[in-house]
Structure 1
């Protein structure tokens, strides 16, 4: 009974989500171990599409299924299949043997090399894709610290001996979650133009950058007004850290592939400065002392929507401009038996 319930949960809820991810630019989150397999039902003739875990050895894929599942029965005796492998659609021929569990072996056909379509690096297509994705990602992400901020502002937190420290920790944790959502949205748009940047790496850099920024922003919660007594130089450095942390960590990834990537640090810092200013202009007149939690959250979300759109528009323009400087094209240069691959600058056509 439990196994049937788990199977239904996986088939109806988990598999559709995994299949969607495998068909998006974010596929590299899963595609090193999971592929999207399509087989044809022998009785119905319908296409059966499902994610499967695989091991690869050259042009041979191997996957093991539970005997309780039925999809592999369509491959007994051998049958052609289609598979999305690491974001690439391939065809192959599958056979099944029981050892004792059903084991499916797929021999991939040679990949057909076609000229890849030009990526939208300098067009409005990239800017529009980035703006939509980042706006949505930042709106969803910002709801987490907005709700956390309203929660920790409740009077009960002040009764705890370490209330301010716990409040700051909650805010920083929520900010890291915001960075995770923002990083996923940015990677979704970025990888259409720069698939060499791994989604995990980009999300990790963005989440850490957000955590650092929120740590700086949470200092007044812990220290209070004493922050204003610090040296102007220290305050300026903290402000610079708040604005540039995310861009600096993302630059570490971009600089391997894009010429002039350090401009991304300046562009993102400037974009966040403008966006935070817009957020303050929207929320400061609306937030009043003694407001109910739901109203505090609603005002924060409103400011977050405006902030998200602002930072998305500005960083999208910066990204398109950044690609104008050119990409790093890696190819082997032979100078003898110990030659290595080096990079040369290539401007996108």
Structure 2
């Protein structure tokens, strides 16, 4: 790797200052305190996720799923609107206000159920602690009933008058769409954050993403709703509703995707380095690897790039920094982790190596040989990371 890039990486991962816990307080048969305490063996009680579910959904998959969900929802809404119009002059229950209202509310619930199910399924595969049922119900109530409440007055007014209402000016309609989005976005984000909170560190990022996304989405929906004219066949109107929903869902997916990294509190610089490590370029492999560690109390997984050295046994040696919380989730004898090695996430085992360990001096020497400017303190705790191909011995 070139000198400027190496210098920037070394500056970012500058050697950690001294830990507050001395060597005498770090017995070999209990958990190690790096920046926070833990219980021995607690990580083994938590279910592990596969490397596939540990990653957020891909952008295209996320956008396509939301596009499909909104296409179904708005096609149902368009069909319900046409049914209300066609039956408004029918005598008896078929032309009643109650049936018209039921159709509108039902279409709104279909839209909310489709959107909540698509989002909940994809997020649930990534975040196993997500409360999917709560997420779907929250979306159903806010998106579904909210949409129905907004559409019901116009549809029922049309039904009572027996004719299609006049179309408002485009500028007025767009302002109304933005207003609806400004209300619906934060409300929906807060409702869904209620289900997301046990699974992510910063659910408020999801609220912000929805607050920014839904005004744009509602503009797309209102524009699509204004396209059909008098005399259009029902099939064409329903197809237009579906196409409008697909565009709106795609916009929603594109404008909310950025929140994934913020919800899991992975810094943008770390995300960029991890992305580079997954490429085939390989120019960072000699300095950094990606490491995934599961939190003991929360069960959440955290990914970060770390500097490493290789000891004589082929094990990776990592020196956590003072403000690096992941070290507190690594305990003896070993903890299951994943390591991003040569572009792929692989299962591995991590073990703390403390001063006084028989192999501590060798591990420290390997790290300082690779990173002579690290300036490790005397009581620096190191971490071995053993990949499946490395020696699986306990080392002590």
TM-score normalized by the length of structure 1: 0.51
How far is 1:135 from its partner? 2.1
| 1:207 corresponding residue in structure 2 | 140
Question: Is the 1:135–1:305 Cα contact (8 Å) retained in structure 2?
Answer: yes
Superposed counterparts of 1:261-300, under 5 Å: 261-284=203-226, 286-300=227-241
Alignment counterpart, residue 127 of structure 1, candidates 52, 59, 64: 59
Specify whether residues 185 and 298 from structure 1 end up closer, same or farther in structure 2 by C-alpha distance, changes over 3 A only: same
Specify whether residues 121 and 321 from structure 1 end up closer, same or farther in structure 2 by C-alpha distance, changes over 3 A only: farther
Alignment counterpart, residue 220 of structure 1, candidates 154, 176, 180: 154
Alignment counterpart, residue 202 of structure 2, candidates 254, 260, 265: 260
Superposed counterparts of 1:1-349, under 5 Å: 116-118=49-51, 125-156=57-88, 163-164=96-97, 166-214=99-147, 215-222=149-156, 240-284=182-226, 286-324=227-265, 331=296, 347-349=302-304
* CA distance, structure 2, for counterparts of residue 114 and residue 309 of structure 1: 33
How far is 1:260 from its partner? 2.5
How far is 1:317 from its partner? 2.6
* CA distance, structure 2, for counterparts of residue 302 and residue 249 of structure 1: 27
Specify whether residues 272 and 165 from structure 1 end up closer, same or farther in structure 2 by C-alpha distance, changes over 3 A only: farther
Specify whether residues 283 and 237 from structure 1 end up closer, same or farther in structure 2 by C-alpha distance, changes over 3 A only: closer
Specify whether residues 192 and 290 from structure 1 end up closer, same or farther in structure 2 by C-alpha distance, changes over 3 A only: same
How far is 1:155 from its partner? 5.0
1:211-254 deviations in Å (ceiling 9; x for gaps): 232113323334689xx9xxxxxx99876443333222111111
1:43-72 deviations in Å (ceiling 9; x for gaps): xxxxxxxxxxxxxxxxxxxxxxxxxxxxxx
* CA distance, structure 1, for counterparts of residue 205 and residue 195 of structure 2: 13
Q: Secondary structure in 2 aligned to 1:188?
A: helix
* CA distance, structure 1, for counterparts of residue 47 and residue 181 of structure 2: 49
Specify whether residues 192 and 263 from structure 1 end up closer, same or farther in structure 2 by C-alpha distance, changes over 3 A only: same
- Larger RCO, structures 1/2 (Cα 8 Å, 6+ apart): 2
* CA distance, structure 1, for counterparts of residue 152 and residue 185 of structure 2: 14
* CA distance, structure 2, for counterparts of residue 238 and residue 303 of structure 1: 17
> How many residues get paired?
218
Q: Report which of the two has the higher share of strand.
A: 1
Q: Secondary structure in 1 aligned to 2:125?
A: coil
Where does the alignment leave 5 or more consecutive residues of structure 2 unmatched?
A: 1-43, 159-164, 169-176, 268-293, 305-396
TM-score normalized by the length of structure 2: 0.46
Specify whether residues 131 and 236 from structure 1 end up closer, same or farther in structure 2 by C-alpha distance, changes over 3 A only: closer
1:96-128 deviations in Å (ceiling 9; x for gaps): xxxxxxxxxxxxxxx9x99644457676x5433
* CA distance, structure 2, for counterparts of residue 176 and residue 305 of structure 1: 17
Question: Is the 2:72–2:245 Cα contact (8 Å) retained in structure 1?
Answer: no
Task: State the Cα RMSD in Å.
Answer: 3.9
How far is 1:176 from its partner? 0.9
Q: Secondary structure in 2 aligned to 1:324?
A: coil
